[in-house]
Structure 1
Amino acid sequence: MKTISSLACSASIAACLVTSHAFADNQQDSALLKLLQEKGIISAEEAQSLQAEQARRAQQQATVSMGSKGLKIESADKQASIQIGGRLHADYATHDHEAFANQEDAIDGTQIRRARLYAKGKLNGRWKYVLESDFAGNKVSVKDANLSYKLTSAPITLTVGNQKHAVSMEVEESSNDIMFTERSLVAALTTPYFDRAIGITAASGGSNWHAKAGLFGDGISNNDADEGHGFGARASFAPVLNDNTVVHVGASYGLRKTSDDGLANGKSPSFSYKTTNFSDLKPVNASVADMDKVEIGVFEFAAMHGAWSVQSEIAANNVSRDSGDDLSFSAHYVQLGYSIFGGQRRYKASEGEFKYFNVNTPFNASTGDWGALEVAARFDQIDLEDDNISGGEAKRFTLGLNWYLSRNMRVLFDYSRSYDLDGGAIQNDKGEVADNIDSFAIRTQWAF
């Protein structure tokens, strides 16, 4: 009877010890086994057996962590994982401009610009996956949805699925990390046709360089039976790269061929920009009929030294039409940032882009820590005038103040003025081309 009781006790102890780490750590478990052995409840052999089983189970248990990068679960052998995260961008915007004759006033107010959740991780060591959806605007849209494999024979990663084209440093950078609430006027040439689409890319990178190229169909939201296709390639090199200083140069090329119904990446051919995402006010706007294909070339320069950072791109595209001469549009920007109270931007050479802002001391009112501040300025210009297309020209400058409370939270304040407007469709109540459109935007951002 005692033997049966001893076996039952041993089994119960084993179940408690090997199936949970919530009640005790290894040292406590060892102390408990030693105590049970001293009291004669279990033998030395049984104690050793339980310890061995506990160690074996511990090696097989997944690890769970929660931090600045979200919730992560990883297998004991580190060959499989899943990470859950997201972002929330809550915006407010208002405008000041003269009365328009043929255009409604800019829309002011609030908007959830982005509300995304993602799951990403790895499988069997070399496979990686990501699935991200956006719930902003009372609708669901799929952003990144792809699977990657790192080759064993070469330092190349292949990615298949919905993903960004390899065009433009600014487009490749996450909206969580860009210096202002919205991207520059260069985005009016790039994002309509060279943002996300379903395709395959090959990428490689080293300690101070990166290269990426891919072939694409249309975006995941396009349901056309006969879709268009595109190509994108981008490369960058950092001749100076250390913890405090970065010099970056790069270039990219993109091509997009329209579908049989004249759509390019599921969109009607046009180039424009809005003062804010939901303003519905477009200082320049060029619609292009009979577009056959669009090509774009982008040249990049960026640098960082301590608290200072600068980034610039020059973009030019060529639009081929089935009827009419080819068109050429261009845009460029230069932006400058300076961080106060410590912290600096993080540069990732293997992807050729700036990542999140490193905050030395997160915000904590009780200890008098206020995070970091970044003052920023940007000048950009766009020209959508060529041949019989009068989409307009515009210049713009933007002043920004970014408050980084932590790695995961920041508040952005932007003031922009669009000026020297020429051509385009917006006229004031005197019948003249409108000018000096001012906008002010605030964004509260939370991302992990």
Structure 2
Amino acid sequence: MRNKLSTLVVALILFGIGLNAQEVKTDVRINQYGQIVESVQLDAEARNSILTFVSENENYKFWFDNRVYFDGGIFFDGWDKDDVVGVDENTTFNPIGNGATIRRARIAMKVVMHKNWYGEIDFDFSGSATEIKDAYIKYTNDARDFNVKAGHFREGFSMETTTTSRYVTFIERSLISKFAPSRHLGLQVNYMKDKYLLVGGVHFNEQGGFEEVEFSQDANKDNGTDEGYSFTGRAVFRPIIDNEKVIHIGAAASYRTPKTHLEVPNSYRFSTRSISNVNRKKYLDTDDISNVDNNTLWNVELAGAYKNMMFQSEYINNDIKRLDDLSDVNLNGFYAQVGYLLGDGKYNYNKNEGEFTQVSRGSEKGELEVAFRFDYIDLNDEKAGVYGGSANGYTLGFNYHINSNIKLVLDYSYLDHDRYANGKGKLYVGHDVNGDLTKDPREVVEAKGKAGDDYGQLQMRIEIDF
């Protein structure tokens, strides 16, 4: 009897194991809330060393997009200014400290779901602070020529600004990039064909850093203030485009009202650190332009590439309309750059975004690139009484694209600031009649072209994308 009972118990156990094994083999999946959920098999791959999980039909995909940029900078005196009587030779009025920094430390996660839906969230941890960069949802049609996205992302304005930092040619974007709107909350529609690209969107506040969010929330809580809005559009025409060459002709415009993420209500301020993140001085600074009703931006873009040669240029005009019979303000600037790959590599163009993307290396040993850029920005408007300074920038760059993930960058720049580039009254711009340094451009005795801080800077970057 005991043996029969033991046999029965063993049989029941084996039967239970069989049932469990059968359940495991089914496609039914239960989530943490007890709901039956859809299950798709994903395979793990390293695509250009980027860890990617993807389904067989690629309707589902998940991958990381992380970056670390280690930058350093050394600064040198500018041209000789000893033509001023009674002034000792001193070519840089304000001392600049050499240094190093983590320029970017980005962690991003990206996903494609149900074939047509895309999501992205991107954080930056540089500067020992956390900032949201991209956080949005996008729908793309089956033909892949139309998409609409909503969330926090770059507005469709300026070829240089919409290009990811991974693929810009130089360590820092041009001086006029400070005019171009960057990331804001909004809704945007894109329509793409081989010959043209059309972009249009409505945008609101910035939601990247803690301070911007706090300013906006306080304005809403304390005063019930509308957060402002912008309408931005861009059009690109490509009369020539194939695998080896492209001609890009573009234009964009943006109508903008002041946003509540700004510290001073109903104002705009434009400032820049002169193409360096190591040197923290902002020579070019309009200070707060008050009583602003709106501002209008427009630009034109001309770019092209043929095999291992490229050029890119933009002009941006910035018109600021003010209330209470105050004079309107006009600011503007441009840049022009050329690049050349010394090996058998090739410049690549992304027609869906209207920008240059990662270069193709001509050798397993990597690709060496040499480039030159001229910058000009003018933040002065005498009629409006705005003197933010103007500057010319000359940059010679060398990029070594070791592989798809590692890039070494070396840039030498020379910055030539005018007498009004005094960091809203904080920086010296020349000497007075007594030979003493002065921050007041009206007291400067140096000849035109000799006033203002002029200096050279040598910057390097070690970049990894993974």
Name the structure 2 match of 1:134: 124
Are residues 1:348 and 2:346 paired? no
1:215 aligns with 2:202: yes
Partner of 2:332: 330
Aligned counterpart, 1:183: 173
Aligned residue in 2 for 1:92: 72
Displacement, 1:263?
Answer: 5.3
Q: How does 1:299-378 map to 2 (within 5 A)?
A: 299-323=300-324, 324-362=326-364, 369=365, 371-378=366-373
Counterpart Cα distance in 2 of 1:61 and 1:208: 38
2:440 matched residue in structure 1: none
> Partners of 2:390 and 2:359 in 1: how far apart?
33
Identify if the C-alpha distance between structure 1 residues 101 and 310 changes in structure 2 by more than 3 Å, giving closer, same or farther.
closer
In the TM superposition, residue 18 of structure 1 has moved relative to its aligned partner by 7.5
The answer to whether the Cα contact below 8 Å between 1:236 and 1:249 also exists between their aligned partners in 2 is: yes
The farther-off stretch of 153-162 and 399-408 is: 153-162
Tell me whether 237-246 or 278-287 shows the greater mean CA deviation.
278-287
How big is the alpha-carbon RMSD for the aligned residues of Structure 1 and Structure 2?
Answer: 3.2
1:4-47, CA deviations, whole angstroms, 9 ceiling, x for partnerless residues?
A: 8xx99x979x89x979xxxxxxxxxxxxxxxxxxxxxxxxxxxx
- Compute the displacement of 1:255 (Å): 2.2
Q: Measured at CA, do residues 94 and 80 of structure 1 come closer, stay the same or move farther in structure 2, by a change above 3 Å?
A: same
Shift of 1:67: 2.5
**Matched ranges for 1:27-426 at <5 A:** 61-68=41-48, 70-97=50-77, 104-151=94-141, 155-190=145-180, 194-220=181-207, 221=209, 222-223=212-213, 224=216, 225=220, 226=225, 227-259=227-259, 269-275=268-274, 276-287=276-287, 288-323=289-324, 324-362=326-364, 369=365, 371-386=366-381, 387=383, 388-419=385-416, 421-425=418-422, 426=428
Indicate if the aligned counterparts of 1:171 and 1:195 stay in contact, CA closer than 8 A.
yes
Q: Give the distance between the partners of 2:115 and 2:145, measured in 1 at CA.
A: 15
8 A contact 1:284–1:424 mirrored in 2: yes
TM-score (norm 2): 0.78
Residue 411 of structure 1 aligns to a residue whose secondary structure is strand
Number of residue pairs matched by the alignment: 398
Q: Distance in 2 between matches of 1:292 and 1:278?
A: 35
- Which whole-Å CA distance do the structure 2 matches of 1:442 and 1:400 have between them? 10
* Percentage of identical aligned residues: 25
What runs of 5+ residues in structure 2 fail to find an aligned partner? 1-6, 27-38, 79-88, 423-427, 436-443
Deviations 1:382-433 (A, max 9, x none): 1111121111121111100111101111111001111262422241355442
One-letter amino acid of the structure 2 residue matched with residue 65 of structure 1: E
Compare 248-257 and 330-339 and name the one that shifted more. Answer: 248-257
Q: Write the distance in 2 (CA, Å) between the matches of 1:259 and 1:410.
A: 37
Retained in 1: the 8 A contact 2:316–2:333? yes
Counterpart code for 2:72: Y
Contact 1:262/1:291 (8 A) holds in 2:
no
Partner amino acid, structure 1, of 2:292: M
In the alignment, is the contact (CA less than 8 A) between 1:270 and 1:286 conserved in 2?
yes
Q: Any runs of at least 4 consecutive aligned residues in structure 1 with deviations exceeding 4 A, and if so which?
A: 98-104, 151-155, 260-264, 429-432
Distance 1:267 1:338, change over 3 A: farther
Contact kept? 2:271, 2:284, Cα under 8 Å: yes
Contact 1:262 1:292 in 2 (8 A): no
Q: Provide the secondary structure at the position in 1 that maps to 2:358.
A: strand
For the Cα contact (< 8 Å) 1:60–1:77, is it kept in 2?
Answer: no
Shift of 1:156: 2.4
Unaligned runs of 5+ in 1: 20-58, 363-368
CA contact 1:94–1:439 (8 Å) conserved in 2: yes
Residue identity opposite 1:322 in structure 2: L
Distance in 2 of aligned mates of 1:103 and 1:229: 41
Does the aligned pair in 1 maintain the 2:197–2:235 contact within 8 Å?
A: yes
Deviation at residue 102 of structure 1 after TM alignment? 11
Partners in 1 of 2:334 and 2:100 — Cα distance? Answer: 29
TM-score, normalisation: structure 1: 0.81
